C-alpha cells in the first residue's frame, strides 16, 4: 500500500513531509487501500489566475491556489498564505496537515489551505487589499461556511480577513454574511477576542505541559524563537511572561541573540517603531538568521516557514525540546535524527492547533451571534491544549511512539472512523 517512502524522506518540501508522515501512519494503522486512497486526497485542488489593476494603473497577473484536502469531519479549514515562493504542492501539503490538526484538536472541520503567489512586503496596504479582493472574487465558489473557511496564515492578517468578509457580504448584497465565511476577523466584524494570540498561547501551553512531564522548571529554560510575526512574537512574549529566558530571535531581517535574555517589551516596541523586523535591536548581538536554530538553548520554537530543520542543521541543534509553532518545519530525515538524539518534539498538528481551535469558537459565536469573553476563550483554549497534549503524550508512551507518530495516529484514526460512519457509498 501507499507511496514510495524512501524517495520521499529525502525531499525537503512540505508536500513530501506531509505525505511521508501520513504514509507512515497509514502503515502503522494498517489502513485498507481504498481508505488510504480516499484519505490521501486531496478532494479538490484548484489553481486560479487573478489579474487586478493595482493603484498605479498597472495590471498584475497572480497565481493563487485553493486546496480542500478532506471534508469527512466538516468543511475544510485552513489559512491563506501569501508568499512569493508558494506553489500548489506546498498548499496541498499544508491542507493535508490541517485535516489531521482539526481532527486531533477535536473541531468539526476538515483540512484546507489557500495561497496567493506574491510577496506581501512588496505591496502597499491599498494594493494588498486589491489583491485580496481579486482573490476572493476568483475563488468565491470555493469559499463558504459549508465548503472552505479561510483564516490568516503567513503573510496575511486580520485586516485581510475583514476585506474578505466585506467582499463576500458586498457581493451577496447583505450587511452580514450568512454564516461564518472567514475566521480571524477583527472583533468589530464578528471576530473573537483572543484569536490573534490563540496560536502563540496554545504553543506555550503545550510547551509548559512538556516541561511538566519532563520535570523541567520553565523559569530555568532558555528559549530561541525563529519567526517574529503573528505567532512568534506572541510565543516569545508569553513564554517570557512564564519566566523563561528568551535568548535568541530571528525573522527575515536577521537574527539577534542575548544570553542574558532579550527584553521582550523593548523588542516588541523596536519592531513596531522601525517596521523593519528585529534587526537593529540595540540590546542584542546580531547573528545570521539561520544560526538561531543552532543557538545554545533548552527550547527551540520554529515559528516561520516550513522545512527549516533539515539534515543540514539537525545535528547542530542544542535544544532539548522543539515546539513546532510553524507548520511542517521539520523534514522526515531530520525528524529521525531528532528522535535518535532524544530531543522531545511537540509536533505541529498539536503544538499550533490553538489557532484553529479558537477559529472554531469564532465560527460558533458567529452562528449564535453572541460574543464570548476573553476569560471564556482563554479557559477553553488552555483546557483543550493541555488535554490533547496529555492524550498524545500518554498514547506515545503506551505504544512506544514519538509524539508526532502518536498525534498522527490519533488524528488519522478519527478521520477513518468518520469515513466508515458516513459509509462508502455515494
Residue 338 contacts residue 361 (beta carbons within 8 Å): no
User: H helices within 121-278, ranges in order?
Assistant: 125-139, 158-172, 195-214, 232-241, 264-274
Among the options 77, 101, 113, 230, which is catalytic?
Answer: 113
Q: Measured at CB, which residue is nearest to ligand NAD?
A: 229
Q: Does 111 bind ligand NAD (CB under 6 A)?
A: no
- Judged by CB under 6 A, the residue of 226, 330, 331, 365 near ligand NAD is 226
Quote the least distance from Cβ 304 to ligand NAD, whole Å: 4
Task: Return d(Cα 122, Cα 210) in angstroms, integer.
Answer: 39
Residue for grid cell 479549514: 77
DSSP letter string over 36-78?
A: HHHHH--SEEEEEEE--B-TTS-B--EEEEEEEEE-SSSSEE-
Q: Does 206 bind ligand NAD (CB under 6 A)?
A: no
Q: Does 289 bind ligand NAD (CB under 6 A)?
A: yes
Q: Which range of residues in 128-136, 217-225, 299-307, 418-426 is near ligand NAD by CB under 6 A? A: 299-307
Quote the least distance from Cβ 294 to ligand NAD, whole Å: 13
- Judged by CB under 6 A, the residue of 21, 25, 92, 199 near ligand NAD is 199
- The residue (of 218 and 250) whose beta carbon lies closer to ligand NAD is 250
Q: Which range of residues in 33-41, 46-54, 300-308, 384-392 is near ligand NAD by CB under 6 A? A: 300-308
Q: Does 352 bind ligand NAD (CB under 6 A)?
A: yes
Q: Does 303 bind ligand NAD (CB under 6 A)?
A: yes
- Judged by CB under 6 A, the residue of 326, 346, 407, 410 near ligand NAD is 326
- The residue (of 221 and 326) whose beta carbon lies closer to ligand NAD is 326
- Judged by CB under 6 A, the residue of 232, 256, 381, 404 near ligand NAD is 232
What element of type H or E holds 249?
strand 245-251
Task: Return d(Cα 99, Cα 96) in angstroms, integer.
Answer: 5
Q: Which range of residues in 35-43, 215-223, 248-256, 387-395 is near ligand NAD by CB under 6 A? A: 248-256
Q: Does 355 bind ligand NAD (CB under 6 A)?
A: yes
DSSP secondary structure code for residue 374 in this structure: H
Give the orientation angle of helix 33-40 with respect to helix 403-422, to 10 degrees.
Answer: 100
Contacts of residue 191, defined as CB under 8 A and 6 or more positions apart, other chains included, come to 158, 161, 183, 184, 185, 362
- The residue (of 201 and 245) whose beta carbon lies closer to ligand NAD is 201
Task: Return d(Cα 8, Cα 331) in angstroms, integer.
Answer: 10
- The residue (of 130 and 301) whose beta carbon lies closer to ligand NAD is 301
- Judged by CB under 6 A, the residue of 71, 251, 298, 409 near ligand NAD is 251
Task: Give me 107's grid cell.
Answer: 473541531
- Judged by CB under 6 A, the residue of 42, 78, 110, 152 near ligand NAD is 152
Task: Return d(Cα 169, Cα 260) in angstroms, integer.
Answer: 51
Question: Which backbone phi and psi does 359 adopt, to 5 degrees?
Answer: -60, -40
The residue count of the chain comes to 426
Residue 138 contacts residue 116 (beta carbons within 8 Å): no
Q: Which range of residues in 28-36, 58-66, 169-177, 319-327 is near ligand NAD by CB under 6 A? A: 319-327
Give the number of C-alpha atoms closer than 13 A to the C-alpha of residue 131, restricted to the C-beta side: 28
Quote the least distance from Cβ 48 to ligand NAD, whole Å: 21
- Judged by CB under 6 A, the residue of 133, 230, 384, 404 near ligand NAD is 230
- Judged by CB under 6 A, the residue of 64, 98, 134, 154 near ligand NAD is 154
Q: How far is CA 302 from CA 58, 110, 129, in A?
A: 38, 25, 29
Instruction: Tell which residue, 414, 346, 401, has the closest CA to residue 111.
Output: 414
- Judged by CB under 6 A, the residue of 20, 65, 109, 228 near ligand NAD is 228
Q: Which range of residues in 204-212, 221-229, 384-392, 406-414 is near ligand NAD by CB under 6 A? A: 221-229
Residue 45 contacts residue 66 (beta carbons within 8 Å): yes
- The residue (of 138 and 227) whose beta carbon lies closer to ligand NAD is 227
Quote the least distance from Cβ 249 to ligand NAD, whole Å: 9
In whole angstroms, what separates CA 375 from the centre of its chain? 23
Q: Is 113 a catalytic residue?
A: yes
Q: Does 155 bind ligand NAD (CB under 6 A)?
A: yes
Q: Could you give the residue numbers annotated as active site?
A: 113
The residues of the shown chain that bind ligand NAD, judged by CB under 6 A, are 152-155, 199, 226-232, 250-252, 277, 289, 303-305, 325-327, 352, 355
Amino acid at each position: 500500500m501507499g507511496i514510495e517512502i524512501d524517495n520521499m524522506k529525502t525531499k525537503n518540501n512540505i508536500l513530501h513531509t506531509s505525505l511521508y508522515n501520513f504514509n507512515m501512519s497509514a502503515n502503522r494503522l494498517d489502513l485498507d487501500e481504498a481508505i488510504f486512497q480516499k484519505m490521501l486526497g486531496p478532494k479538490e485542488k484548484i489553481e486560479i489566475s487573478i489579474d487586478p489593476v493595482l493603484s498605479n494603473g498597472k495590471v498584475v497577473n497572480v497565481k493563487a491556489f485553493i486546496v480542500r484536502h478532506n471534508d469527512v469531519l466538516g468543511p475544510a479549514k485552513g489559512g491563506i498564505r501569501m508568499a512569493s515562493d508558494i506553489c500548489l504542492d506546498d498548499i496541498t501539503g499544508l491542507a493535508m496537515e490541517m485535516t489531521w490538526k482539526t481532527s486531533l484538536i477535536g473541531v468539526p472541520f476538515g483540512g484546507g489551505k489557500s495561497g496567493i503567489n506574491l510577496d506581501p512586503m512588496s505591496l502597499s496596504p491599498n494594493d494588498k487589499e486589491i489583491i485580496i479582493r481579486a482573490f476572493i472574487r476568483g475563488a468565491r465558489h470555493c469559499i463558504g461556511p459549508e465548503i472552505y473557511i479561510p483564516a490568516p496564515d503567513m503573510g496575511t492578517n486580520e485586516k485581510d480577513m475583514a476585506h474578505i468578509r466585506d467582499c463576500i457580504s458586498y457581493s451577496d448584497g447583505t450587511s452580514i454574511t450568512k454564516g461564518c465565511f472567514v475566521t480571524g476577523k477583527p472583533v468589530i466584524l464578528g471576530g473573537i477576542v483572543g484569536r490573534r494570540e490563540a496560536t502563540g498561547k496554545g504553543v506555550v501551553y503545550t510547551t509548559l505541559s512538556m516541561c511538566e512531564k519532563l520535570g523541567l522548571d520553565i523559569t530555568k529554560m532558555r528559549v530561541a524563537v525563529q519567526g517574529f510575526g503573528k505567532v512568534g512574537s506572541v510565543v516569545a512574549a508569553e513564554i517570557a511572561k512564564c519566566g523563561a529566558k528568551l535568548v535568541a530571535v530571528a525573522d527575515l531581517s536577521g537574527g539577534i541573540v542575548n544570553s542574558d535574555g532579550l527584553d521582550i517589551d523593548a523588542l516588541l516596541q523596536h519592531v513596531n517603531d522601525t517596521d523593519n523586523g528585529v534587526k537593529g535591536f540595540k540590546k542584542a548581538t546580531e547573528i545570521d538568521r539561520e544560526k538561531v536554530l543552532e543557538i545554545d538553548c533548552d527550547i527551540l520554537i520554529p515559528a516561520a516557514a516550513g522545512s527549516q530543520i533539515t539534515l543540514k542543521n539537525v545535528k547542530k541543534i542544542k535544544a532539548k525540546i522543539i515546539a513546532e509553532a510553524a507548520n511542517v518545519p521539520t523534514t522526515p530525515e531530520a525528524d529521525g535524527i531528532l528522535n535518535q538524539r532524544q530531543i522531545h518534539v511537540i509536533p505541529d498538528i498539536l503544538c499550533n492547533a490553538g489557532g484553529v481551535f479558537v477559529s472554531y469558537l469564532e465560527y460558533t459565536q458567529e452562528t449564535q451571534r453572541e460574543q464570548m469573553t476573553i476569560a471564556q476563550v482563554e479557559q477553553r483554549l488552555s483546557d483543550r491544549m493541555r488535554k490533547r497534549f496529555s492524550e498524545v503524550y500518554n498514547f506515545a508512551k503506551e505504544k512506544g511512539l514519538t509524539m508526532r507518530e502518536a498525534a498522527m495516529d490519533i488524528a488519522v484514526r478519527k478521520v477513518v472512523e468518520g469515513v466508515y460512519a458516513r459509509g462508502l457509498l455515494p
